Chains A and B, each alone.
Chain A
Amino acid sequence: MKTTIRQSIRTGVTFGIVHIFFILIAFNSMIAVMLAKISGIKNPGEIPEAKFYIAYTLLMGLWVGIAALNKKKSLSFGTKILSSFSTGLTVAVLAGLLDVILSVILVKKVFIRDFLSVLSFDFIKATLLGMTPVNGTLATMAFILIGALAGSCLVILNNLKAVQAFWKTLGTWTKNIIGKIQYASRGKYHLIWQLVGIVIVGFIAVFLPTKWGSYWNYVFGMVGLYVILGLGLNIIVGLSGQLVLGYIAFFAIGAYTMALLNAPEPHHLLWGFWPALVLGIILSALSGLLLGLPIMRLRGDYLAIVTLGFGEIIRILLKSDVLTSFTGGPRGIQNIQGPMLFGRPFNSEVDFVYLIIAGVILASFVYNRLQQSRTGRAWLAIREDETVARATGVDTIKYKLLALAIGAAFAGLAGAIYASRNQFTGPDEHALMASINVLSLIIVGGMGNIPGTILGAFTLKGLPEILREFANYRLLAFGALLVVMMLSRPDGLIPSSRPKYELPKETAPDVEKKEASHGK
């Protein structure tokens, strides 16, 4: 009993801090604006009516109540209510304290916006639910408490046997349906099902780009480019196990090759898209080799920081005054000419989406073949244990260099298409954050496999676009999501099935055979 209450109070303190943090970053305003929009008000402005703030406070309380009973199934009904009540009360007290401070600021007219930028007087009034300070504080506390109790009631209702049975039935049904689909796709009709799948995907790929409008085509193209980048980095990190943090440098080399060869400024070369694409890929691969040669002895984090440094070197060089006459300096390169295919110029986003889809298919094909080849198995051996791999006769330096070069070539492909599509490239597009984004996407998706990479690209590049509504809160949510994701699914959304083959139950030749059969 005592420990339960102590735990509840501790949860309450955590949520109280979260509540204060949300108020100080004006998260309540954002939710209130969203609620106002949902309820049909066209232009709620930055600070909508007080009733939406009341709704936010209730929702916050609801969340607290639900979280208070998390992982506490075995308690009795009374203890549950008591526990959620004490959590809610703690949060309410903390919220009340904040409101008292806010009230003082409001009454004394302290101009605090220099310190904490969101705390304008209008915002404080709205946070106090549009009432007088005393009433507002008490009302906030009351609403949080009511919300918490309602939340705990919801949890208790959800835990009732009848409701649980309902969820269970629903779960079984979904499982059955998925199982049937899986069975169908594996059974004797699997070829037909695969064909149907290909036709559906092909249909989406062919027809949707013409219907979507340019914004969604832009987003879709971006996701596609990041799939290519992710596959390339997967070869380096996922297959051969070398942590590379400056991957975007290769992307930049591809993009700048395309830009320099196809823009009127600064060189007026106008080679056309396709030769520049090939040259961009080759140059990226070569730079991968050149970077790899001196540092192949490094492992782990040393390699990470050196490649990070390489990425920064490329970016700073592109940006500096030294190379302005050659690469356009900080302003970048504009008016890059688009590709021509069979005499027809690519002039809309739709054409580029097709080009990117073709690129993704090519990259996935190459990736798949490489993964299942002798080279791919050499990479896996290096990833698992470099010393053992060398002892068994794998030329580790050769294969590591190869991985770096091929991964870089993928990035060169993506970069060339990217520059051509945007008709612009500049040094700041190739900052460290972009490398980190690619690395995050392959880890979030699940390292070392194609579906994971695609899902990761959608999550990390597509989701922020969908979350545009959240504006400033987008990156905050992204950061928090990365942490939560790693805590809950450290192997990524779609974990690789490779480790199965590493169990030391079988003798070595058997493992070989299994892997070979996996390739078929």
Chain B
Amino acid sequence: MNDPSPHPLDPAGDKNLNAEPASNKKPKLKRSRLIKLLRPALGVVVLLYILFRLYQVLIVQHEYGADTWTRLLISGLIIGGVYALIAIGYTLVYGILFMINFAHGEVMMFGAYAALYSFWAFKLIKMPGDINFLNAYPVIAIILAFIIGMSVSATLGYFLEKIAYRPLRKAPRLVPLISAIGASIFLQNAAMLLFSPQMRDVSNPDILRRGAGWTISVSGSNVILPYTGVFTFVLSVILLIMLYMIVQRSKLGRAMRAVALDKKTAALMGVDVDSTISRTFIISGALAGAAGVMWGLHNGLVYYFVGFIPGIKAFTAAVLGGIGNLPGAMVGGMLLGIVESMGPAALGINFQLKDVLSFVILIIVLTFRPSGLLGEVLSEEKV
């Protein structure tokens, strides 16, 4: 700021710069070159360290066999599917409104509670022959639980947008964020007061018992492929494909993409912007609700804080893949899940540090690709 630098569009100034590198220009050039060099250097150091640790753990120490790696990969894929589903919600909303829907994790939490209560209620319904509804018709019960969970979360998402975000659409960027944070705190505490702070176990139907699964043999030892895990993974992939089809093929998807590009022009072309945004929140809420039900089926524990950590992780995943980009959120979610479960073992660090690892990966990726793995370079106005 101190040196009278030439105007970038001024040809004379440009020539000046080429002809005689003025003495006051020199330090600036040097520093920028230094910063440019710094990043590749950092990248090389990080890469070398990772290779070194991998060499140490995999070849020198040889701590884990193939069976352990399979187990870790399975759990990573499962949790990655859940993250991807939640991350899609963040990315959809961000793509259209450019706001972080901080309360999205809580929307998922209410889905998990809906699953908890509906399974509970199904268990109380007695059927003829000394068997309850949950185990008599498990498939119907699971489908019903998903319908209930997804509709609870979708309704919540709809009202969240209507009450807390819609009036703030023209406000400065930080204002809706604070409103979302407030909504998140409110929903958490409402759940705590309504359903009590204690942790609860979801009672799965017998065909999807937690812990049970197919046994496969990897290098001599048995690895359990849990039913709930396979179910969760397959269902999340199906939901992701469905969502992608909706966004790419349907009329609503076209409207959503148009609104994401330019609200005013979309409105001029006859797109109902308000209802499109509402529907986006409904879709993202439904996906979060499905994720919540899956969380309940697979992890089992449901309590009022259950949405917070997955919410933060899924947001990280969305950013990792490039926020506003649908395939990016899916890739980011899967990647984060796998890194989280396999990373600590592969690098030989304490498992308590798995979250550190995922955030470090995020920082490294963003250092080299500031708009995420698959993200397009957003225009100034969007950022």
Contacts and interface: CB of A to CB of B under 8 A. Distances in A.
A387 interface: yes
B285 interface: no
Contacts of A387: 380
A486 B370 contact: no
B193 A476 contact: yes
B174 A237 contact: yes
Contacts of B35: 397
B185 A478 contact: yes
Q: Is the interface of B mostly helix, strand, loop or mixed?
A: helix
B172 interface: yes
A391 interface: yes
Interface stretch (B215-223, B260-268, B357-365): B357-365
B186 A476 contact: yes
B193 A479 contact: no
B1 interface: yes
Nearest to A299: B383
A374 B1 CA distance: 10
Contacts, number: 168
B219 to A, nearest CB: 30
Interface string B226-267: 000000000000000000000000000000000000000000
Interface string B307-327: 000001001100100010000
Contact of A472 (B181, B193, B356): B193
Contact of B185 (A312, A313, A447, A475): A475
B350 A320 contact: yes
B120 interface: yes
Nearest to B380: A387
Contact of A482 (B5, B94, B182): B182
Interface string A356-400: 000000000000000000100010000000010001011101010
Contacts of B195: 115-117
B164 interface: yes
B356 A317 contact: yes
A432 interface: yes
Interface in A298-353: 298-302, 304-306, 308-310, 312-313, 316-317, 319-322
Contacts of A476: 185-186, 189-190, 193
B17 interface: no
A59 to B, nearest CB: 20
A436 interface: yes
Interface stretch (A71-79, A86-94, A191-199, A438-446): A438-446
A179 interface: no
Nearest to A472: B193
B176 A486 contact: yes
Contact of A301 (B186, B189, B319, B355): B319
B193 A295 contact: no
A118 interface: yes
B38 A26 contact: no
Q: For A298, A432, A478, A479, which residue has the most chain B Cβ atoms within 10 angstroms?
A: A479
B69 interface: no
A447 B39 CA distance: 34
Interface in A234-248: 237, 243
Contacts of A312: 312, 355-356, 359
Contact of A320 (B168, B353, B360): B353
A25 interface: yes
B178 A479 contact: no
A117 B194 CA distance: 7
A473 B1 CA distance: 52
B187 interface: yes
B167 interface: yes
B335 interface: no
Contacts of A117: 194-196, 198
Interface string A271-284: 00000000000000
A410 B264 CA distance: 42
Contact of A490 (B171, B185, B190, B315): B171
Contacts of A309: 316, 359-360, 362-363
B48 to A, nearest CB: 17
A483 B193 contact: no
A306 B366 contact: yes
Given A443-B175, A482-B185, A313 B356 contact: yes
A516 interface: no
Given A293-B38, A294-B363, A309-B316, A301 B100 contact: yes
A481 interface: yes
Contact of B178 (A295, A308, A443, A472): A443
Given A116-B195, A117-B195, A483 B362 contact: no
B193 A473 contact: yes
A285 B339 CA distance: 31
Contacts of A447: 174
A470 B360 CA distance: 40
Given A293-B38, A478-B185, A310 B359 contact: yes
A25 B193 contact: yes
26 contacts: A25-B194, A117-B194, A117-B198, A294-B39, A294-B367, A299-B370, A305-B319, A312-B355, A316-B352, A317-B356, A321-B352, A322-B352, A322-B353, A391-B8, A394-B1, A439-B174, A439-B181, A444-B178, A447-B174, A478-B185, A479-B187, A482-B182, A482-B185, A483-B179, A483-B186, A486-B176
Interface of B: 1, 4-5, 8, 35, 38-39, 42, 94, 98, 100, 117, 120, 163-164, 167-168, 171-179, 181-190, 192-196, 198, 312, 315-316, 319, 323, 349-350, 352-353, 355-356, 359-360, 362-363, 366-367, 370-372, 380, 383
The 9 nearest A-B residue pairs measured at CB: A482-B182, A479-B186, A117-B196, A309-B359, A479-B185, A25-B193, A476-B189, A486-B179, A483-B182
Given A312-B312, A476-B185, A479-B187, 17 more contacts: A295-B367, A301-B323, A306-B363, A316-B355, A320-B353, A374-B1, A439-B181, A443-B175, A444-B178, A447-B174, A472-B193, A476-B189, A479-B184, A480-B186, A485-B182, A486-B182, A490-B171
